[in-house]
Chain A
Amino acid sequence: MSQTNHIGKAPSRVDGPLKVAGAAHYSGEFNVPNLAYGYVVSSPITKGKILKVHADEVRALPGVLEVFSHENVPYLAWFDKSYKDQIAPGGSPFRPLHAPDITFNQQPVALVVADTFELARYAAALLRIDYEQQEHETNLETKRTEGYAPGGGKIGFQPPPPPRGKPDQALKDATHSIEAEYAHGAQHHNPMELFTTTVEWRGDGKITAYDKTQGVYNVKNYLMGVFGLGKDDVRVVNQFMGGGFGAGLRPQYSVFMAVLATLELKRSVRVTLTRQQMFSIGHRPNTLQLVKLGTNPDGTLAALQHHALHETSQFEDYTENIVNWSGMLYKCENVKLGYQLAKLDIYSPQDMRAPGAASGNVGLEVAMDEMAYAAGLDPLEFRMRNYADRDQNVDKPFSSKKLRECYQQAAAKFGWETRTQEPRSMRANGKLVGMGMGGGVWDATQVKSAAKALISADGHLTVRSATGENGTGTYTIMTQIAAETLGLPLEAVTFELGDTDQPEAPIQGGSWTAASVGTAVKNACNALGEKILKLAQKPADSPLKDAKYDDVEFVNGQLRLRLDHDQAVVLRDVLQASGETQLEADSSAMPNMVKQNGYSLHSHNVAFAEVEVDEDLGSIKVTRVVSAVAAGRILNQKTARSQVLGSVVWGLGMALMEETVMDHKFGRYVNHNFAEYHIPVNADIPHIDVIFVHEDDDIVNPLGVKGIGEVGMLGVTAAIANAVFHATGKRVRDLPILLDKLL
């Protein structure tokens, strides 16, 4: 029996004890000596110019070290290229403190640095700035006819595929058809940890930036470009991140500010944004969607049209894939997809958990529910009749797809057969009861990553890769992969991450970390394994004398022949006999394009939700959710389940609570705090069942994993919206579904 098969089990997080004891250090928690504090001043106007920053009167306060603004910021990089990070969209990235122009509300306009946090905050409140205001526009409704197709996009953006079939004619000829518009406002990531950067001045122009980011290399390259630093001058570290959800994919202005002040003052500086300022760093964009569906007499889809328009800033073409998924989730020969942006006087939106898909999924899956009702079909049966065995967007088969099994298992667990189709036909506890469903699809992506593995003479394995831990369980799954590859107990392995002194890993997003960094970790451990085998073969009487690497396996602390387990050596004995104090190996991993070329690589899910609606008050309570996910192999049952549970909570928030409300008169978000931007709390959360449907897939990557952080959010929001319709007979098409929309 192997004691060292860890993959697919449910070990607790290896970083758990540090987190629950308050001993995990986040970016604002490094106690560097002689630290100064910076406090950001935000623009109260939306568009215009700064006429004058009255910095001198604040500089004169005892304890204030400097006031930075566009008036005194030193010469920095000139070309846009230097400010472009790994996933910068088209356009010109925002440059903090660069010019007097104001292009969005809450734009950072100054940084006040003082000896203490309290002083910096106080002085920032006293800083007088004269502005010239200009008229602005922040309302997407005014731009309905001014949408444009973006020329390009960030890495990963794919313009919608060209129309297929005859989507207009087929819609006209359809037996039944529906057409509806769906909308949701801006939403903000709001990770619990505030964006914070602690920059340590190491002297001689060298710095270490402890920064809240989902990509330490992305930040390092940005800082090198903007400040003209050499690669040995700047080290970026982030070992624990208090939530990201996409907010930390791009370098934020907090790190710019902290590094600027540190370099100018030659002193360590910490900058922490306020919760209010966390609403000025990117968001899921306000989006309008038009969906048209038509069916044939047999309940198959005759036509599908999906068009989306969302906001972006004046300076960047932020893009996301909203409508493409609609061309692949269901079988349909006649499809037309459209995607446009509109420029407003706001900050650039930013990827937020399942960017694009979470928005487009609501449009498609609520429309599918409407279509099922129009065609007189059960919503689940309707989806089964339109099951896609091929990805028609690219005309390729899926590498694996067990969505049908997700439908079946989740429906059975949920008790979908007890549902009566008629709206307002179910009641319990004096309330209207509704049951709804929705499903989704997300990319299974692998991107280039590198890792280093080292083993000491006492048999302790250390593996390093500059990826991130923002709650996804990276420390734990990488430890499992490394330990299993070299046949060690979890306790004999340490995984280290989040440091640009380590081999490069990509930004942590797109649900690709498990596949990408996991494969690199496995490869590095195998490279180390080959070195260990060579050492084991040195003694003349080695039982592994003529074995090739493929002939041996690492299990239970031993290295043995696969076909003859008695021919074995103890790993620690090999290392100690070798006289080496440490062995190390580097490796990297890339997707196998040749193998993947003929396939579409995706994960799928479905969610079923039950709601109770108080008809008198319009209040909605989600009472049960069942979520089934098919995402290849699950590395850790415990942490993967938590990711899906969290995704359900996000879906619930998007359905019933979350909206950042813009006052267009001022061009300013008015609920930019946790009291007024509502996210779900413990009492909002129902019983949630999570089902993983296993898929064997050696095409996506050698580990067979598809990623789990985003797919679980799909379907949930639509399932709840559809359940509300089923309960009440009222179809709410603009999220969130607040009680006044039901009254």
Chain B
Amino acid sequence: MSQTLTSAPASGGLPTPVSTGPVRLHINGETQTLQLAPWTSLLDALREYAHLTGTKKGCDHGQCGACTVLVNGRRINSCLTLAVMHDDDDITTIEGLGTPENLSPLQQAFVDHDAFQCGYCTPGQICSAQGLLNEGRAHSEAEIKELMSGNLCRCGAYVGILDAVKEVVDKQ
């Protein structure tokens, strides 16, 4: 028995791709004007157009948290928002929190507690933790674990992540 099947909708002439326009983003204190199409996610704008590759793509569906950045101080999944929606917003990425030579307290705590292995989810974890600190929400271990559970880590560095975030929270 066999049957035929055609994938993708049959179309009478394909729609032409949309055109680009300037989008003004304030990223890590600097203003950049990028030429973007409306369908470009904030994540792709950061990685492919602004070449800030510290923000990671792990699923592109808001399921893993690797793309977490701070927009006006609040943590969001940058894969679930379009860059054009952030004209004039203040965006902070991992590169804006510290540099290898001058780490932020959270970044240093992640190194000290070995709160990562491969490092791919790490920028998202740190931005998420920074968001928690900004929001003043995480106090107990249980709260930190719950509120950090939107950021997956396949290496399983969760014990170190908890210890690192707890140390910085406790010092505040």
In the complex, whether B133 has a CB less than 8 A from a CB of chain A is no
B117 touches A240 (CB 8 A): no
Q: Mark A237-279, 1 if CB is under 8 A from B, else 0.
A: 0001111110000000000000000000000000010110000
Q: Check B112 against A130 for contact (C-beta < 8 Å).
A: no
Closest residue of chain A to B96 (Cβ to Cβ) is A22
* Residues from chain B with Cβ under 8 Å of A291 in the complex: none
Counting CB contacts under 8 A, is B99 at the interface? yes
Task: Given A23-B54, A642-B157, answer yes or no on A118-B5 (Cβ-Cβ < 8 Å).
Answer: no
CA distance A613 to B139 in the complex (A): 27
Q: Considering only CB atoms, which chain B residue lies closest to A690 in the complex? A: B159
Q: Of all chain B residues, which has the CB nearest A242?
A: B120
Residue of A nearest to B19 (CB): A62
Q: In residues 50-105 of chain B, which contact A (Cβ within 8 Å)?
A: 51-61, 63-64, 66, 93-95, 97-101, 103
Chain A, range 538-558, C-beta contacts under 8 Å to B: none
Contacts of B148 in A (CB 8 A): 682
Chain A residues positioned under 8 Å from B6 (CB to CB): 128-131
Residue A471, interface by CB 8 Å: yes
Do A683 and B149 touch (CB < 8 A)?
yes
Q: Enumerate chain A residues within 8 angstroms of B159, measured Cβ to Cβ.
A: 645, 685, 688
Q: Inside 8 A of A189's CB, which chain B residues have their CB?
A: 154
Q: A62-B17, A129-B8, A688-B159 are in contact. Are A192 and B58 (CB under 8 A)?
A: yes
Contacts of A12 on B, CB cut-off 8 Å?
111-112, 114
Q: Contacts A129-B8, A275-B58; is A191 near B156 (CB within 8 Å)?
A: no
Task: Say which residue of A24, A63, A472 sits within 8 Å of B117 (CB atoms).
Answer: A472
Q: Is the CB of A679 within 8 A of B154?
A: yes
B162 close to chain A: CB less than 8 A: yes
Partner of B160, one of A45, A63, A127, A642: A642
Give every chain B residue within 8 A of A13 (Cβ-Cβ).
111, 114
Are A193 and B118 in touch, CB under 8 angstroms? yes
Q: Do A685 and B95 contact each other (CB < 8 Å), given the known contacts A21-B107, A22-B55, A641-B114?
A: no
Is the C-beta of A638 less than 8 angstroms from some C-beta in chain B?
yes
- List the A side residues contacting B58 at CB < 8 Å: 192-194, 275, 674
Instruction: State whether the Cβ of A218 lies closer than 8 Å to any Cβ in chain B.
Output: no
Give bound CA distance, A283 to B9, whole Å.
31
Residue pair A674, B61 in contact (C-beta under 8 Å)? yes
How many A residues face the partner with a CB closer than 8 A? 85
Residues of chain A within 8 A (CB-CB) of B4 are 51, 130-133
Which residue of B61, B94, B162 contacts A675 across the interface (Cβ within 8 Å)? B61
Using A20-B126, A190-B154 as known contacts, say yes or no to A470 and B118 having CB atoms under 8 A apart.
yes
Per-residue B-contact encoding for A115-152, CB less than 8 Å = 1, 0 else = 01111001001111111111100000000000000000
Nearest-CB distance from B137 to chain A (Å)?
A: 15
Q: Mark B1-23, 1 if CB is under 8 A from A, else 0.
A: 11111111011011011000000
Enumerate chain A residues within 8 angstroms of B44, measured Cβ to Cβ. Answer: 117-118
A44 with B7: in contact, given A22-B93, A642-B160 (CB under 8 Å)? yes
Nearest Cβ in chain B — how far from A393, in angstroms?
A: 31
Q: Name the distance in Å between B167's Cβ and chain A's nearest Cβ.
A: 14
Which residues of chain A come closer than 8 Å to B64, judged between CB atoms? 192, 275, 674
- The 5 A-B pairs at the shortest CB distance, nearest first, are namely A22-B54, A649-B156, A242-B120, A471-B117, A19-B119
List A residues at the B interface (Cβ < 8 Å). Answer: 12-13, 15-26, 28-29, 31, 44-45, 48, 51, 57-58, 60-63, 116-119, 122, 125-135, 189-194, 240-245, 272, 274-275, 469-473, 638-639, 641-643, 645-650, 673-675, 679-685, 688
